[in-house]
Structure 1
Amino acid sequence: MKVLLLAGDFIEDYELYAPLQALEMLGLDVHIVCPDKKPGEMIQTALHILEPGRQTYSERPGHPFDITHDWDECAANLGQYAGLIVPGGRFPEYQRYDKRVLDVIRYFVEKDLPLAALCHGLQLLAAADVLKGRSCSAFPMCKLDVEAAGGKYIDFEAFSKNVHVDGNIVSAPAYPAIGVWLGAFIKLLGIKVQVP
Structure 2
Amino acid sequence: MKILLLSGDFVEDYELYTPIKILEVFDIDVHVVCPDKKAGDTVQTAVHAMEAGLQTYSERLGHPFELTHTFDDINLADYAGLVIPGGRFPEYQRYDERVLDIAKHFFAKNLPVAAVCHGVQILAAAGVLQGRTCSGLHLCKLDVVAGGASFVEFDPMSKNVHVEGNLVTAPAYPAIGAWMREFIKLLGIKIVY
Letter in 1 for 2:24: E
Structure-2-length-normalised TM-score: 0.98
* Residue aligning to 1:170: 168
* Residue aligning to 1:44: 44
Task: List structure 1 runs of 4+ shifted beyond 6 angstroms.
Answer: none
* Root mean square deviation of aligned Cα: 0.9
Percent of pairs identical after alignment?
Answer: 63
* Residue aligning to 2:56: 56
The count of aligned residue pairs is: 193
For 2:101 and 2:157, the matched residues in 1 are separated by 29
* Contact residue 144 and residue 150 of structure 2 kept, 8 A: yes
Alignment match of 1:131 (pick from 129, 132, 135):
129
CA drift of 1:158 comes to 5.4
For 1:103 and 1:97, the matched residues in 2 are separated by 11
Letter in 1 for 2:91: E
* Contact residue 3 and residue 31 of structure 2 kept, 8 A: yes
For 2:79 and 2:153, the matched residues in 1 are separated by 30
For 1:38 and 1:156, the matched residues in 2 are separated by 36
Structure-1-length-normalised TM-score: 0.96
* Residue aligning to 1:24: 24
- Return closer, same or farther for 1:31/1:53 CA change in 2, 3 Å cut-off: same
For 1:167 and 1:175, the matched residues in 2 are separated by 22
For 2:172 and 2:134, the matched residues in 1 are separated by 12
- SS of corresponding position for 2:100: helix
Kindly report which structure 2 residues correspond to 1:105-116, keeping only aligned pairs within 5 A, or say none: 105-116=103-114
- Unmatched segments (≥5 aa) in structure 2: none
For 1:186 and 1:78, the matched residues in 2 are separated by 19
* Residue aligning to 2:35: 35
CA drift of 1:26 comes to 1.1
- Unmatched segments (≥5 aa) in structure 1: none
Letter in 1 for 2:95: Y
What CA deviation, in whole Å up to 9, does each residue of 1:47-76 have, x standing for no partner? 0011112110000000000110011111xx
For 1:64 and 1:182, the matched residues in 2 are separated by 23
